[in-house]
Amino acid sequence: MRMPIEERRAALVEATLAVVERDGLSGTSARTIVRQAGMPLGALHYAFDSLDGLLAAAVDAVTEQERLAVEHLMPAADTVEDRLEAGLAAYVDLLTSRPARELAFLELMLHASRARLAEPPAPGRYAPSYAVVEALLADAADRAGATWTTAPATLARHTVAMLDGITTTWLADHDTAAAHANARFLAASLAAHAHQEG
Please give the full DSSP string across 55-84, using - where no structure is assigned.
HHHHHHHHHHHHHHHHHHH----SSHHHHH
Q: State whether 106 and 37 are in the same domain.
A: no
Q: State whether 118 and 178 are in the same domain.
A: yes
CA distance 73 to 78: 15
Q: Which domain holds residue 6?
A: 1-48
Q: What is the pTM (predicted TM-score) of this model? A: 0.86
Domain count, the chain: 2
CA distance 71 to 92: 13
Q: State whether 27 and 100 are in the same domain.
A: no
Give the pLDDT confidence of 42-91 residue by residue, as tens digits. 888 889 999 999 999 999 999 988 888 777 666 666 789 998 998 899 89
Q: State whether 100 and 181 are in the same domain.
A: yes
Show the low-confidence residues of the chain (pLDDT under 70): 1, 72-77, 198
CATH of the domain at 71: 1.10.357
Q: State whether 155 and 179 are in the same domain.
A: yes
Q: State whether 172 and 101 are in the same domain.
A: yes
